[in-house]
């Protein structure tokens, strides 16, 4: 599909959630750790991993996972993962449980600023796991990337194909996360079994966004 435009429209800030925070509330991420593995090796070694070591993930490695998932790679704002019409309807949130150099919490990730904004402190990992069919890997992981969909502009452009296009895009982002994890020697797995209603009760996700997919990871 041809991009209609390269300008980026963000949904309106929801009540009670400062999505694109002020400069003061932003945490600039460090340069992403280099990915020291050839693509064919990443593809060969990527495997879903559901058990993680206790050790925290360094912030530079989390920065690399986020860059792989949704990094900006062109002056016009295009990203590592493709997006129908370059609309980028998926919003990224970080669940930090054990990240060296980052307080535990739930953060909005802004790919354009490569920055995090704290939205909630001390999110209970067990409760997040419960909202994901009580999966042990969620209870054990060091960090996760929650993708939510904001359908506003996508629906205006693509009508009935909206949900399908958003899901396809989530898959692209997921594979980028996993390949970067493989390159860094981290374990990772997709978590599709999530309860979007429970997630929204637990985490300050804007009302007009829909939780789609959780990508998690940790040290092996």
Ligand X SMILES: Cc1cc2nc3c(=O)[nH]c(=O)nc-3n(C[C@H](O)[C@H](O)[C@H](O)COP(=O)(O)O)c2cc1C
- Using CB under 6 A as the criterion, which residues of the chain lie in contact with ligand X when the complex forms? 47-48, 50, 135, 137, 189-193
The answer to whether 3 touches 85, Cβ cutoff 8 Å, is: yes
Contacts 24+ apart (CB under 8 A), 100-103: 100/56, 100/57, 100/58, 100/59, 101/30, 101/58, 101/59, 102/27, 102/59, 102/62
Chain position whose Cβ is nearest to ligand X: 192
> Closer to ligand X at the Cβ: 142 or 191?
191
CB of 189 to ligand X, least distance (A): 5
Copy the structure tokens of residue 102. Answer: 């980052």
Distance CA 31, CA 117 (A): 17
> Closer to ligand X at the Cβ: 117 or 188?
188
Q: Are strands 186-191 and 210-219 parallel, antiparallel or unpaired?
A: antiparallel
CB of 213 to ligand X, least distance (A): 7
CB of 149 to ligand X, least distance (A): 14
> Closer to ligand X at the Cβ: 47 or 127?
47
> Closer to ligand X at the Cβ: 135 or 162?
135
CB of 174 to ligand X, least distance (A): 7
């Amino acid at each position: 599909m041809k991009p209609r435009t390269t300008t980026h429209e963000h949904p309106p800030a929801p009540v009670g959630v400062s999505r694109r925070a002020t400069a003061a509330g932003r945490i600039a991420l460090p340069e992403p750790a280099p990915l020291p593995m050839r693509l064919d090796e990443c593809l060969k070694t990527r495997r879903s991993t559901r058990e993680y070591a206790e050790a925290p993930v360094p912030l530079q490695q989390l920065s690399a996972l986020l860059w792989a998932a949704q990094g900006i790679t062109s002056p016009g704002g295009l990203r590592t993962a493709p997006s129908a019409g370059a609309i980028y309807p998926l919003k990224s949130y970080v669940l930090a449980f054990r990240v060296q150099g980052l307080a535990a919490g739930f953060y909005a990730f802004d790919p354009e600023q490569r920055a995090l904004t704290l939205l909630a402190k001390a999110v209970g990992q067990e409760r997040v796991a419960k909202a994901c069919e009580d999966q042990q890997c969620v209870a054990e992981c060091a960090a996760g990337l929650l993708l939510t969909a904001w359908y506003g502009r996508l629906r205006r452009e693509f009508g009935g194909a909206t949900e399908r296009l958003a899901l396809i895009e989530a898959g692209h982002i997921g594979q980028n996360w996993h390949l970067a994890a493989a390159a860094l020697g981290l374990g990772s797995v997709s978590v599709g079994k999530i309860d979007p209603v429970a997630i929204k009760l637990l985490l300050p996700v804007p009302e007009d966004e829909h939780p789609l997919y959780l990508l998690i990871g940790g040290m092996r």
